[in-house]
């Protein structure tokens, strides 16, 4: 089954958004540097690159905003379902 996923490059921290891949695919090639980019989970446990995002600041900002919205939604959901 093909699904849209976000991936993060392990080398350059580029976020690849809404990539259409098979549901079982967890690693893709980074479109910028060719290094492995791993699937971003719904609850990310990695740090946000604050200082070294100079390469693709808009992509990072967009992704961070999206994540905040997602987290806000989850927070709201858990509030009503303890
Ligand atoms: Zn990369």
Q: Give the strand pairing for 2-9 and 15-22.
A: antiparallel
Measure CA 15 to chain center: 6
Residue 16 Cα, ligand 1 centroid: separation in angstroms?
Answer: 9
Instruction: Quick: pLDDT tens for 47-61.
Output: 555 555 455 567 777
pTM exceeds 0.75, yes or no: no
Question: What's residue 65's pLDDT?
Answer: 86
Angle 62-26-61 from CA coordinates, rounded to 5°: 10
C-alpha distances (whole Å) from 65 to each of 52, 58, 68 are: 18, 11, 5
Instruction: Quick: pLDDT tens for 60-79.
Output: 778 888 888 888 888 776 66
Residue 28 and residue 32: Cα distance in Å, rounded? 12
Residue 64 Cα, ligand 1 centroid: separation in angstroms?
Answer: 18
Grade residue 28 by pLDDT with cuts at 50, 70 and 90: very high
Question: What's residue 29's pLDDT?
Answer: 95
Ion ligand 1: residues, Cβ under 5 Å: 9, 11-12, 14, 30, 32-33, 35
Residue 38 Cα, ligand 1 centroid: separation in angstroms?
Answer: 10
pLDDT above 90 as % of the chain: 33
């Amino acid at each position: 089954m093909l699904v849209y996923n976000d991936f993060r490059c392990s080398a350059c921290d580029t976020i690849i958004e809404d990539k259409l891949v098979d549901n079982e695919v967890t690693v893709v090639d980074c479109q910028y540097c060719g290094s492995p980019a791993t699937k971003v989970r719904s609850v990310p446990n990695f740090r946000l690159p604050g200082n070294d995002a100079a390469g693709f600041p808009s992509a990072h900002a967009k992704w961070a905003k999206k994540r905040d919205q997602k987290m806000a939604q989850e927070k709201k959901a858990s509030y009503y379902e303890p």
